[in-house]
Structure 1
Amino acid sequence: MRIQDLVRSEVQTLEPYRAEEDRCKVKLDANENSFPFPLELRKKMVALIENLSFNRYPDPSAGELRAVLAGQLSRQGAPVEPEMILVGNGSDELIQILLMVFGGAPGRVLMPTPTFAMYKVLAQILGQKPVEIPLEGDFDLDLERMLDKIYSDRPSLTFLSYPNNPTGNSFSREKILKILEASPGIVVVDEAYFDFSKKTFLPLLPRYENLVILRTLSKIGAAGLRVGILISNREVVRQLHKVRLPFNLNLFSQAAAKLILENREAIDGQVAQLLREREKLYQVLRELPYVEPFPSEANFILVRTKIDAVFLHEELIKRDILVRNLSRPGPLFNCLRMGVGTPEENEMLCNALKDIRCP
């Protein structure tokens, strides 16, 4: 017997998702919030732990967390009720649930490229057929080709990262609206970087029954909690609950996420500082002769290098700085993604880039 012969054909061709594992002092590869968790929140978190019953299963519906989320989301342009919210073990789980419920056998899943890798990976794992449409030269959606595929392939789901990871830009709102109107299936607008762009389709939920919005706490300082948030109409969420695993969000993550949301001031202060640092970093990168930074509405900046990206990536690691090497044939050739860090981390990055001697 060969174990490989027992593996589904869709899985045999896949490679495991690999995060960068280099232990560098400055870690700017994963689009996290580099600032330490605020001290006042840390103290409240310690007190919170003392009152949690770890011997009991968590609330299966995360009712208290969803109630807090509903109250805050309702202030962003449209009324949101707790029954319109599903929380998960990171957005990855919510993407997986969406594909399990709405993905056909085999269904077509439409997405631009380049974009967040897990849309394609999870579609393949679940036996769906990813349909990828290259972005235009300015990294906006190729609307004509997207609509052609919608009419010909009738995708069961369409994924749009807004702002897009790894390019950092927000797609044209008008193009997304046309995709929403033309799509026979679910359209997922992934607003993981909403806190940095302040752009959202949330007010349009009452108008489009096929609209699903994703949010997360991972980009604003709680990546370790793995809290993903899905917002849609009641019927979509009701169907998703059918395949959601019981107790999918653990006790501590539920309580900690609720605490963070109820004490947003400290986190919002860090987000504001990251926005200022993003602009400063972008301006410094523009002045370097061998890199071309792209404007960003997220917490990272995509950079195209005029030298070998592998060489530059390795030189930064030698200087204890880790960024994400995205270089591959196509629009991301010789591209690196650099997270926006603390002022000290950004200064180290800029000094290192100025110090590196091109081959």
Structure 2
Amino acid sequence: MHAYAVQDSTGLLKLDAMENPHRLPPALQAELGARLGALALNRYPGERVNDLRRALAAYAQMPEGFDLMLGNGSDELISLLAMACDVPGASILAPVPGFVMYAMSAQLQGLRFHGVPLTADFELDEAAMLAAIEAHRPAITYLAYPNNPTANLWDDAAIERIVTAVGRQGGLVVMDEAYQPFSSQSYIGRIARHGHVLLMRTLSKFGLAGVRIGYLMGPAALVAELDKVRPPYNISVLNAETALFALEHAEVFAAQARDLRAQRAVILDALAALPGVRAWRSDANMVLVRVPDAAKAFEGMKARKVLVKNVSKMHPLLANCLRLTVGTADENAQMLAALQASL
């Protein structure tokens, strides 16, 4: 194994980690600073964390009879899910390529991980998924909606058949909606149909990557069991208050998401005009692109002070692929110019 790698971005235009490029307006920065400065930092987190749970439930339109569990980012929730389901013979299953923490959480907890390759166009291989579920009876099956790093949504009918198959085997399905602010669809309206489906989101893509707030929604009795492995006070008072403040100003972040969706369309149009380049449709704040030589293009862009993610070695299906984060209009112009010059 190797540790989760974070690229050094010093002096570079940072478009490698799907962060929201927009800062809070100065007036809101000052207002938030005053609120954080008044917090009782000498006390453990208390009822304010429950205020955040209620605010997120309302924001996400969580169904009645469901509950919500907070994590220090989705990463902690993924680790806690592996811990909660760590019984003899248990395993975790997910399509690949996908978010690397699904497999890492399994490895670190001593669980088997079964990765089921997507098709060449990054669609679900439904037959292979159903066969793997039948053969391995996974405790957890992850379905990212949309997926990372491919940025696409999968066929809804195929997802429902997979969800049903997992339920027959007694497992859990986790719908990972990390990129929900940029997606054309959500699973929230269908989650109540199933007693074994959890929906996971994060405020990182909402615009608070530095705040580290993830949340998991599911049937109340199921969330109560998962909550038993959550460390006490895992959400700091600073993070909780910042998240509450952001939700009070959700319209600001919604406007930022609209801008990034518009910029994503600009990037896709520009990429379509570049010879030898293929980009896939995106429902996230990133675009997966295949170039003739990913290593050469990546280094060329870095030499031009633009940092993106070279994902070409993550999985054979990603050969010669780069992942581009959607930035501001100016950042995207710089990125596209650097890419064109580096091909």
Q: TM-score of the superposition, structure 1-length normalised?
A: 0.91
| 2:271 is aligned with 1:285 | yes
Distance in 1, matches of 2:134 and 2:54, equals: 39
Distance in 2, matches of 1:179 and 1:160, equals: 9
Partner of residue 234 from structure 2, selected from 237, 248, 252: 248
Q: Which amino acid in 2 is paired with 1:323?
A: V
Distance in 2, matches of 1:40 and 1:239, equals: 42
| 2:6 is aligned with 1:15 | no
Q: Which amino acid in 2 is paired with 1:141?
A: L
Deviations 1:196-220 (A, max 9, x none): 0142211223221110001111012
Partner of residue 238 from structure 1, selected from 203, 208, 224: 224
Partner of residue 169 from structure 1, selected from 152, 166, 170: 152
Q: Which residue of 1 aligns with 2:294?
A: 309
Contact 1:24-1:317 within 8 A present in 2 as well: no
| 2:58 is aligned with 1:47 | no
Deviations 1:147-191 (A, max 9, x none): 111112111100111100000100111111111111120000000
Distance in 2, matches of 1:289 and 1:137, equals: 20
How do 1:29-68 residues align onto structure 2 when only pairs under 5 Å count?
A: 29-59=16-46, 62-68=49-55
TM-superposed deviation, 1:61: 8.1
Deviations 1:210-263 (A, max 9, x none): 100011110121000000010001011100111100000111000100110111
TM-superposed deviation, 1:353: 2.1
Q: Which residue of 2 aligns with 1:344?
A: 330
Q: Which residue of 1 aligns with 2:76?
A: 93
Deviations 1:69-106 (A, max 9, x none): 122222xxx5346x600011000100111111123234
Distance in 1, matches of 2:211 and 2:36, equals: 14
Contact 1:66-1:87 within 8 A present in 2 as well: yes
Q: Which amino acid in 2 is paired with 1:108?
A: S
TM-superposed deviation, 1:60: 7.2
| 2:117 is aligned with 1:134 | yes
Partner of residue 206 from structure 2, selected from 199, 220, 223: 220
How do 1:105-116 residues align onto structure 2 when only pairs under 5 Å count?
A: 105-116=88-99
Q: Which residue of 1 aligns with 2:244?
A: 258
Q: Which amino acid in 1 is paired with 2:213?
A: V
How do 1:119-158 residues align onto structure 2 when only pairs under 5 Å count?
A: 119-158=102-141
Deviates further, 29-38 or 228-237:
29-38
Distance in 1, matches of 2:51 and 2:305, equals: 42
Q: Specify every segment of 5 or more residues in structure 1 that has no aligned partner in the other structure, as ranges.
A: 1-13
Deviations 1:21-56 (A, max 9, x none): 132431000010011223333122112112201111
Distance in 1, matches of 2:37 and 2:64, equals: 32
Contact 1:205-1:233 within 8 A present in 2 as well: no
The number of equivalent residue pairs is 339
Q: TM-score of the superposition, structure 2-length normalised?
A: 0.95
Distance in 2, matches of 1:281 and 1:24, equals: 23
TM-superposed deviation, 1:330: 1.3
Distance in 2, matches of 1:355 and 1:133, equals: 36
Q: Percent same amino acid among aligned pairs?
A: 37
Q: Which residue of 1 aligns with 2:259?
A: 273
Q: Which residue of 2 aligns with 1:181?
A: 164
Q: Which residue of 1 aligns with 2:60?
A: 73
Contact 1:86-1:230 within 8 A present in 2 as well: yes
Contact 1:24-1:322 within 8 A present in 2 as well: no
Secondary structure of 1:224's aligned partner: coil
Q: Specify every segment of 5 or more residues in structure 2 that has no aligned partner in the other structure, as ranges.
A: none
Q: Which amino acid in 2 is paired with 1:327?
A: S
Instruction: Tell me: CA distance 1:205–1:214, structure 2 relative to 1, closer, same or farther (3 Å).
Output: same
Q: Which contiguous aligned blocks of 4+ residues in structure 1 show a shift greater than 4 angstroms? A: none
Partner of residue 101 from structure 2, selected from 109, 112, 118: 118
